[in-house]
Structure 1
Amino acid sequence: MLNGLFIQYAAPNQVGLNDLGTMSAAQLKVWLGNGGTARLRELLTQPRLDPVATATWWSGLGHTVEPATGKVTVGEEQQLLIDELPDVLGNLNGVTATARNLANRKKLLQMHDRWKKYREERGGKVDEGSQEDMINKVWESLYDSEGRPKTNPQDPSDIRQLISFAPFGLGTGSETGFGASISVGDLDAAKHVTYQLPGLDTTIGKDMASKTKQAKDQRLDQRALASRNGIDPDRIAVVAWIGVEPAQGLGVFSNDQAKVVGPALRNDVTGFNAVHQNLENTARTTAVGHSMGSLGAMEAAKTELPVDNLVLVGDVGAPDNVTSVNDLHLNPGGTVYRGTYDWDHIAEVGHGLGWQRRSTEDPGFGAVTFGTNGTTAPDGTVENPTKTHDGQTGGKDGVYGYFDRGTESSSNQAKIALGLSDQLTNVKR
């Protein structure tokens, strides 16, 4: 390892990641200005970079953690690297969510300003599915019409973190080429974390805002339940995960896209766990797959998905070579849950009407089934039934989706995420 005093003047190719931690902020700034930025990009984009090693390296650059809340504040050296390579650090597993959010927002604002100026000069409409459309939808999920970050004065813990952002149409695995994920709640500080994987035909350009709202609503359900059960309601995060978009259209009859979604989810969860391990924080983690999202989550778990709970909602059956929960590999003691309302014909079609994919409803599959058809809680509260395959409808015309607030489905998902499975309603084990 080189001495920080001399490394700032060393040839870039002589410098490794661990050498950066020996430099002061002033020395690091000199090195970056002497060709170090290109070397840093090379080091951070090498194949199969270990997220555990990355987490150790990143924390070694210096950040602070507030013991009472778990809040992370980036250090001066970290901020210098964020400013130099926001597109890399914003998507690098092993880097804290706090830092990734800063990096991704920096890149988002740069691109949003550029597209806004372009549209003001050229006029016309934004092409649906274009990069401009994608940028706008992510921006609208994070900022109000005046360009101010969305906040909640009644709940300071209700923050939004842009934890992944791939707007370049390259290498994400999505049909559009785009990827993005937004955490509602501080992912670094969270003690309970839920990843929500959306269903068929979801795209960032069309659905980022609605899926972020869905994550926010599930967090609200979890907060209410946490407060009644002695759990810290502020340290909860729910992620609207569209790191890779699910299958589109007739892709419902193929497992191909799920085989792309699965590894991407696994990598992100592994990176999250590496960060939490380095922060000495422990969280209960849950992955919730809706419709085709359930197929992607199971594809991840065929190899390993390091979460405590896997929840299949309105699922379309199990992927190839999965005949029971024993073929799905979660954290030790992890549990697979499922919930589908009685007349979900879209889920039935996704199963191939019994001939294409193994049904998760079969008793031999081994999943714990929770209620979605509506119930009345012991305190007299009516929890509405799910009556559509959709995620959320807002209760329009009395019809609720799987993720609408006030439904038995959403309530049961919250109980699973908080480790309160003994409170599940209409459960079959």
Structure 2
Amino acid sequence: MTTWSDLQKWDGDKFDHLIDVLVAIRHKASDSGEYVRDIDVSSGWTGAGATAAQNRRKGLANSSAFLLANLGEMIRITGKAQSDVNTVKTLVFEVQSLADHYGFNISTIGKVSDPNPIKRSTGDIIAPYDTDHENKRKDRKNALKQCQEKLEYVIQMARLSDEIYTRDLNNIANGTMVAKEGLDYPTPGLSDIPPNKKDPAQVAAWWNAHTDGEKEALIRDNPDLIGNLDGVDGTSRDKANRWRISRDKEALTRKYTPDQLKTNQAYQELSAIERSLTKNNSDTQLLVYEPATGEKGHEKARAAISAGNVDTADHVATYVPGMGTSVKDSMEGNVSTVTNLKNTAVRQDPSQKVAVVAWIGYDAPPNPQSSHDYSVMDLNKAKSGGESLARFEEGIRGSRDARVGGRSNVHMSVLAHSYGSTTASYGMASVRRGVVNHFAVFGSPGIKDGAWRMNVPKGHNYVLEFNDDVIRKANAAKKFWKTDDSLGWHGKDPTMDLGFKKLNPYGPTTKETGHSGYLADGGEAQIKIAKVVLGTAG
């Protein structure tokens, strides 16, 4: 019976070696299968010997296909088991963080208790409205219930995952697998698409199981899938996405006149992406390309471009911009900004390889003054964007881990400005534990819950704020309105959160302040943020 004490030892990294061995065996089996497939025992040969040779070749082909089917299934179910264990690991951390935040105790058998419950006072009873004391009592009581319910859910999930993996292993051991594809199939034993496209860990295991030739064929035959698939390496995504933007731009050129293209949103977005890819001396990767669908919340294209190679860099940082950002109007400037940041980091330590991603992977809210769109006042875009960001980060980590057959040494950070910091905080609250090493916000209108909810190591959250940042005034207004000094406009004010280390943006190199001055090239704030990129901010 799985207990709370057992779950604290669960670690998906323990599957890395097994998956690496399975992948290596599959690659060898695939090569052998190709050899068997190409054996010619029919040309210019007849008689009993020829018939026997043909039958023997057919038997070898069937055996190879059966072996590849079993290996493919082993990789699939083990990749899913690893993903499930990592999810449990993250949820265990979240439960423990919630308990620690409120000072709750968790017993070895999974019972949550409150050693310092808040009792209802006489003032609470006679007051015609809920007092601050009563609100704190209710919050603590609800948190205790939530902590217990989450703990019980994690235990149930862990038990179910264990049962499913055991069942699937027994099915393979009992010889119930059937080879559905012969050796003539492009990827024998593996599905054309990953078993779960929304799980980067499973995608990484699926992608790494393919041979180099199979990967090239998938990029060629299905670039729309591969280009945005979190868990696929950056080089492959870049190759697929560059082909896609060339195809889409050519299609628009055939459809519209030159004058029409000047005002065509999709064409202008593609042009902005192409110009952005020339930055950093063209040492860039197009990691996300999602054309606008016209659906609510996806009226604009989404893209992510790295300055540097995310597959080989020692440090990979992702920059999340905020209000008013779009691919058409902001991509080029953002790629220039991250290129400058990368160069500043490299100057600090020339021995390190750095890649910084400009991530516009969500429809950031527009400036309400010019658009009359007030979506910046709510959290809907932050929540949906945060989910996409979490998968993007898990995809980079997963692809890097898969490439080395274990835990990669890549250091990963997320840097976020303005509304982007709110978006990123939702991502950091849901990203799997162990994916992101450092998180920095600047000009932040607020984050989800607080530092204790961020799935990064304790002490690895940072905040910068200029005194003349307009967001500082907005946060002050919310504090006054709600009579709560911990609040920002969109959640907790990270400058008031002891879990966020304050980095001083002022110094001898300060060039620009205000809401837009944090990444001014060569400025003190940029230098401090570059230290976060390198993991040396303290």
Q: Deviations over 1:6-61 (max 9, x none)?
A: 899xxxxx989938x9xxxxx9996469xx9xx73xx34x6555322322232232
Q: How does 1:330-409 map to 2 (within 5 A)?
A: 330=456, 332-333=457-458, 335-349=460-474, 353-354=478-479, 355=482, 356=489, 357-362=491-496, 364-373=497-506, 375-376=507-508, 383-390=509-516, 401-409=517-525
1:417 and 2:471 equivalent? no
Mapped partners of 1:251, 1:85: distance in 2: 35
Please state whether the residue corresponding to 2:455 is helix, strand or coil: coil
Q: How much is the aligned-residue C-alpha RMSD, in angstroms?
A: 3.2
Residue type matched to 2:224 in 1? D
Please state whether the residue corresponding to 1:257 is helix, strand or coil: helix
> In the superposition, relative to structure 1, how do residues 256 and 351 fare at CA in structure 2: closer, same or farther (>3 Å)?
farther
> In the superposition, relative to structure 1, how do residues 125 and 58 fare at CA in structure 2: closer, same or farther (>3 Å)?
closer
* Per-residue deviation, 1:82: 0.4
Aligned position for 2:165: none
Aligned position for 2:357: 239
Contact 1:247 1:258 in 2 (8 A): no
Residue type matched to 1:241 in 2? W
Q: Deviations over 1:72-94 (max 9, x none)?
A: xxx33211110111111011111
* Gapped regions of structure 2 (runs ≥ 5): 1-25, 38-57, 63-67, 76-180, 369-373, 483-488
Contact 2:511 2:520 in 1 (8 A): no
* Per-residue deviation, 1:174: 4.1
Please state whether the residue corresponding to 1:346 is helix, strand or coil: helix
Q: How does 1:168-187 map to 2 (within 5 A)?
A: 168-169=292-293, 174-187=297-310
* Per-residue deviation, 1:139: 1.5
1:329 and 2:455 equivalent? yes
* Per-residue deviation, 1:116: 3.0
Contact 2:224 2:240 in 1 (8 A): yes
Contact 1:97 1:188 in 2 (8 A): yes
Q: Deviations over 1:341-380 (max 9, x none)?
A: 0011134326753244332221x4421111113x13xxxx
> In the superposition, relative to structure 1, how do residues 118 and 161 fare at CA in structure 2: closer, same or farther (>3 Å)?
same
Mapped partners of 1:339, 1:151: distance in 2: 26
Please state whether the residue corresponding to 1:421 is helix, strand or coil: coil
Aligned position for 1:271: 395
* Per-residue deviation, 1:118: 3.6
1:167 and 2:301 equivalent? no
* Gapped regions of structure 1 (runs ≥ 5): 9-13, 22-26, 63-74, 144-149, 153-157, 377-382, 391-400, 423-429
> In the superposition, relative to structure 1, how do residues 350 and 29 fare at CA in structure 2: closer, same or farther (>3 Å)?
farther
* Per-residue deviation, 1:177: 4.2
> In the superposition, relative to structure 1, how do residues 17 and 338 fare at CA in structure 2: closer, same or farther (>3 Å)?
farther
* Number of residue pairs aligned between Structure 1 and Structure 2: 353
* Per-residue deviation, 1:275: 0.8
**Identity across matched positions, percent:** 22
Q: Deviations over 1:140-170 (max 9, x none)?
A: 2124xxxxxx663xxxxx6100011111426
Aligned position for 1:425: none
* Per-residue deviation, 1:296: 0.7
- State TM-score, norm by structure 2: 0.60
> In the superposition, relative to structure 1, how do residues 165 and 29 fare at CA in structure 2: closer, same or farther (>3 Å)?
farther
Mapped partners of 2:245, 2:473: distance in 1: 39
Residue type matched to 2:263 in 1? D
* Per-residue deviation, 1:388: 2.6
Residue type matched to 1:389 in 2? H
Q: Which is worse superposed, 248-257 or 49-58?
A: 49-58
Contact 1:308 1:334 in 2 (8 A): no
Aligned position for 1:50: 199
Mapped partners of 1:369, 1:95: distance in 2: 35
Q: Deviations over 1:261-282 (max 9, x none)?
A: 1111000111111111112231
Please state whether the residue corresponding to 1:206 is helix, strand or coil: helix
